[in-house]
Amino acid sequence: MNKLLSSGLINENTPFQILADPALKNTGVNVLVKREDLNNQFLSGNKWHKLKYNLLEAKEKGFDKLLTFGGAFSNHIYAVSAAGRLFGFKTIGVIRGEEHLPLNATLNFAKSRGMKLHYIDRKTYRQKYDNELLKSFHKMFGKFYLIPEGGTNKLAVQGVAEFVSKFDVDYDFLCCPCGTGGTLAGLIKGTSKEKQVLGFSVLKGGDFLSKNVEELIYTDKTMHYPNWIINLDYHFGGYAKINSQLVHFIKKFEEKNHIPVEPIYSGKMFYGIYDLILKGFFPVGSTILAFHTGGLQGIEGMREKIKKNIVCTIN
């Protein structure tokens, strides 16, 4: 069992990198980046920490097959397919919408890892946890361990929390991007209450995220976490939406810091952090620790979009 945890497949000791960006000079604020983009080429960033205890439980309970849900560009689908190959599970990805050929980079990768792709229409997808539908999946695919869309559940929160609780650096603020809020929930549970935890919604209308997070962190009524907020100001129009300002920021950020970021999650978080620093949001002398959640394979899928977007902006 613990072979999974000590398999050597995952780098458990990625660096905390200090940003020496001239743009941050004289701001009186330090930024550290936990480089979880480097933990594994395919099962990167937060996805490994979210999946870890799910994989363990699946193994413990004797499952040899994982089934999960996602859109055609989902980093979670990508990660589950990679995990299946690395740790010896068959995988089924239930994909929202119709099949489009040729497969995009995400689904092509998933397929190359042996993931079976099963498409369902958007309406059915909304009822994906419906008993009847799950029953039909069991008929089709046999026994499987179910991982929810985005991989967010109690075990995911546990994995992230445990990881963060072992950080041996000093910091005042802990930041991450939010899709479902599962990672943020883990940061809140894993860090001490003197730290402030700051999530950046990458979704438009991300107000619902706070409720998601509350459900994940308040596992018993005596708990109290007063030290977190979700910033809703840096979604750039919504999930996977970008503009030339963001693209320009990312280009400069990568040049100055030699840290790759993608525009869907980490690019928006770093944009938000820089903007808040320049606006004086963080007290002078504070140290911000940014959790680089990886997902760099998503860049491929965005290249076309970025090109088009720049053209649109210039026009």
20 versus 254: smaller Cβ distance to ligand PLP: 254
Report in angstroms how near the CB of residue 169 gets to ligand PLP at its nearest. 21
137 versus 200: smaller Cβ distance to ligand PLP: 200
Report in angstroms how near the CB of residue 248 gets to ligand PLP at its nearest. 20
Report in angstroms how near the CB of residue 148 gets to ligand PLP at its nearest. 10
Write the DSSP assignment of 54-78 as a string of letters: HHHHHHHTT--EEEEEE-TT-HHHH
Q: How many CB atoms lie within 10 A of CB 40?
A: 20
Closest by CA position to 295, among listed 44, 111, 63: 44
Closest by CA position to 256, among listed 14, 8, 2, 23: 23
24 versus 216: smaller Cβ distance to ligand PLP: 216
Report in angstroms how near the CB of residue 47 gets to ligand PLP at its nearest. 6
Helix axes 182-190, 154-165, angle to 10 degrees: 40
132 versus 167: smaller Cβ distance to ligand PLP: 167
46 versus 309: smaller Cβ distance to ligand PLP: 46
Positive or negative: CA dihedral 292, 293, 297, 300: negative
DSSP bridge partners of 196: 173
Task: Confirm if 145 and 54 have CB atoms less than 8 A apart.
Answer: yes
Report in angstroms how near the CB of residue 129 gets to ligand PLP at its nearest. 17
**Tokens 């458990």 found at:** 12
Task: Confirm if 122 and 128 have CB atoms less than 8 A apart.
Answer: no
45 versus 71: smaller Cβ distance to ligand PLP: 45
The 3-state DSSP class for residue 231 equals strand
Q: Report the side by side order of strands in the sheet with 90-96.
A: 116-120, 90-96, 65-70, 145-147
Report in angstroms how near the CB of residue 178 gets to ligand PLP at its nearest. 4
Report in angstroms how near the CB of residue 269 gets to ligand PLP at its nearest. 8
**Tokens 């977190």 found at:** 228
* Cis peptide bond N-terminal to 260, omega within 30: no
**Tokens 């995990």 found at:** 83
Report in angstroms how near the CB of residue 190 gets to ligand PLP at its nearest. 13
141 versus 148: smaller Cβ distance to ligand PLP: 148
- Residues lying near ligand PLP in the complex (CB under 6 A): 45-47, 75-76, 150, 152, 177-183, 265-266, 293-295
137 versus 295: smaller Cβ distance to ligand PLP: 295
Q: How many CB atoms lie within 10 A of CB 240?
A: 17
Q: Give the CB-nearest residue to ligand PLP.
A: 295
